[in-house]
Amino acid sequence: MYKKLIPDMYVNSIYDINFEELKERGITSLVFDIDNTLVPQKILNPDRKVINLFKFLKSKGFKICLISNNTTKRVNNFTKNIGIQGVSWAIKPRKAAFYKALKMLDSKPEETAIIGDQIFTDILGGHRVGLFTILVRPLSSEEFGWTKLMRKLERRVLKKV
């Protein structure tokens, strides 16, 4: 179980990911968490930098999907502006939403990476379905109470990484 909490890659932000290295590993599809991965939780829409990153990734042949435990409205605020699909109410780390994202992307687990800021949702959920997992530092310390509690446990796990 402990191994499923350890990310395959750990970076400061989505902009520090070496996407060429992912291509070399056979990764063709990317699943992104939204809150505190792409933008701080209180930001309602993708900023220009996120939009440009997604345009760049699409130009490199990556297929992209969003996955969030947040509402359909939250996910739609992102997907409508950048022309990608998304899964809302994911209930990560449950497997169903990850499988739904794989189906949307028409991708296999070994060809797909999940990029998120939480070990117990994004990383654990990704490992449960066989995805390559990338942990990023959260963009903001402003979070829901439950998430703040989980961050304390995450710090213990990260000390071992």
CATH code where residue 138 lies: 3.40.50.1000
Q: Identify the domain containing residue 23 by its residue range.
A: 2-159
- 86 three-state secondary structure: strand
Q: Average pLDDT for residues 139-157, to the nearest whole number?
A: 59
For residue 87, pLDDT over 90 is answered with yes
Q: Are 157 and 5 in contact (CB under 8 A)?
A: yes
For residue 144, pLDDT over 80 is answered with no
Q: pTM of the full predicted structure?
A: 0.87
Structure tokens of 56? Answer: 């760049």
Task: Specify the pLDDT at position 152.
Answer: 55
Structure confidence by residue, pLDDT tens digits, 16-54: 999 999 999 999 999 999 989 999 877 888 999 999 999
Give which of 62, 55, 49 is closest to 13, Cα–Cα: 49
Q: Write down the residue that tokens 């998430």 correspond to.
A: 147
Number of domains in the chain: 1
What values do phi and psi take at 19, rounded to 5? -70, -25
